[in-house]
Structure 1
Amino acid sequence: MSRLTSLKSSLQSQPSKLSTINPDSWRAGKETSAQRGYGYKWQKARAAWIEAHPLCEYCKREGRVTAGSVVDHITPHQGDMTLFWARTNWQTLCGPCHNVVKKTEESRLLDL
């Protein structure tokens, strides 16, 4: 029976897909999501929000019915905990809308 160690030479390491945090970002210096406000209290609030607002807001605008999975901050809070907890600043999005559409919108705003 051959050993797995014989495969070592054919394996290549892949570059990390993790993005680095901009040192000027509000996230810099905060190592965990809990330290950025996304701890147990947020998880409870998020679950209650999604239960009360289960559909993706962006999909609804397009006439689609899609279950939401992300509580998005309409205006990025950038560490402002008052804005972070303001429920008037929350909306439910599905993963694709949050990760593609919302990020595209925010990057356009940064380019202005």
Structure 2
Amino acid sequence: MKLCDHAGCHELVPFNVKYCAQHAGDYKARAAPGNAASYQHRKEISGKLQKFYKSKAWEHLSYDYRLKYPMCEWCQKKGLFVPADVVDHIIPIRVDWTKRLDESNLQSLCNSCHWQKSQEDKKRYHLPKLGTPPE
């Protein structure tokens, strides 16, 4: 026996079963055919993004950009001097794929500012988390 896979549920189920009787219906609704297509589409986009971020073109562009702008641009606006950790797309490439290699669409950010900016982008552009089943 093992715990139900539903977060926070403490019901025991056999090893070959994912969910208890109470949560099995929730799982089936999430796995409905309409949601499966959406999930598959998001997986394809996620793969395309991973391929881009591992490309030589992106590696060279982001490396060169960080050399030019080694400090977090958001922190600098606040008068702080924090080293940049990542190069971020101002307009996410999930929103406008054509700007993926446009240097005017880039900014150097520290991890903290990048996380904050990502949260704002999710709200602004209604971006779902990629590679996860729909809720």
Instruction: State TM-score, norm by structure 1.
Output: 0.65
Q: Distance in 2 between matches of 1:39 and 1:30?
A: 12
Q: Distance in 1 between matches of 2:90 and 2:69?
A: 15
Q: Note the aligned Cα RMSD (angstroms).
A: 2.7
Which residue of 102, 105, 108 corresponds with 2:120? 105
Equivalent residue letter for 1:48 = D
Cα deviation for residue 105 of structure 1 reads: 1.2
Q: Distance in 1 between matches of 2:95 and 2:119?
A: 21
Instruction: State TM-score, norm by structure 2.
Output: 0.55
Structure 1 segments (4+ residues) deviating >3 Å? 22-29
1:28 is matched with 45
Cα deviation for residue 38 of structure 1 reads: 3.2
1:69 is matched with 85
CA spacing shift, 1:80–1:104, aligned 2, 3 Å: closer
The structure with more radius of gyration: 2
Equivalent residue letter for 2:122 = S
2:56 is matched with 40
Alignment length, in residue pairs? 89
Cα deviation for residue 80 of structure 1 reads: 4.8
Please show how residues 56-95 of structure 1 align to structure 2 within 5 Å: 56-78=72-94, 80-95=96-111
Structure 1 unaligned segments of length 5 or more: list them. Answer: 1-21
Aligned sequence identity (%) = 25
